[in-house]
Amino acid sequence: MASMAEARELKEIRAVLRTEMEEKDASAVLFVGLDRTETFPSSEDEWVAFTQTGLKQALGEHLDEDTAVRIAALARSVLTGESTPPPDPDALLDSGDKPTRQLPRLDGPSKVLVVASGSRLARVLKGALGSRVVPMAVGDISRVAAFVDEFEPGVLVVDLTEPVRGLGPGVAKGLGDHALVVVWGTAQGAKRLVEQLAESGTRAVQLDRREGVAPLLDLVHGAAL
């Protein structure tokens, strides 16, 4: 299970957002911006372009136009060296932070196992939440149980935007008693999968991505009940 290294530019963008906005809003903006980007940025030029495209658009959906333009420009100037980067909030997790809903925290970052045919959601979650989350992605349904046993996630996300073959209630086999399964998406069979998981004694919820990312980030940021 390889770790997900983060680009310097992503860390600096996240730091800018967290100094300009409430952390929950910064996470939501970054999630939306990255999720809408066709190709995940991989170079400084691509990250600079991202500040003026996906990030700027996501900011505009949360803030007034002038503020959105200002923050996007600040992020760009930090990446290009024209402005000094703010301190990295991830350098020291503040144990006094409160999750956006009344959910207890685990010690350390939330462990999230994403069951999907690709790693996009795991990468976007990591980008949005930084060191507050340790995501792992698995695309082979036959390997999920081994990942659960080794990784011991607090949250297991079944990503129906990149579904794997053979999904069923067995996907939660071996999860801890307090772990939660999140079915992310509205694909056919999502509701039935949640019902099957519940029938097997697994705590599970379905989240409709069309209703926004806040509920997903709440559950991940606050860890599992």
Q: What is the DSSP letter of 132?
A: G
* Under 8 Å between Cβ of 118 and 126: no
Entry pTM: 0.86
pLDDT band at 189 (very low <50, low <70, confident <90, very high): confident
- Of 35, 78, 33, give the one whose Cα is nearest residue 59: 33
User: Is the per-residue pLDDT at 2 higher than 60?
Assistant: no
The answer for residues whose C-beta is within 8 angstroms of residue 138's C-beta and 6 or more apart is 113, 114, 115, 116, 144, 147
Dihedral sign computed on CA atoms, order 137, 112, 6, 28? positive
The CA distance from 108 to 99, in Å, is 13
DSSP structural state of residue 42: -
Is residue 16 pLDDT above 60, yes or no? Answer: yes
Residue recorded with tokens 């300009």: 20
pLDDT digit string, tens, across residues 142-187: 999 999 999 999 999 999 999 999 999 999 999 988 899 999 987 7
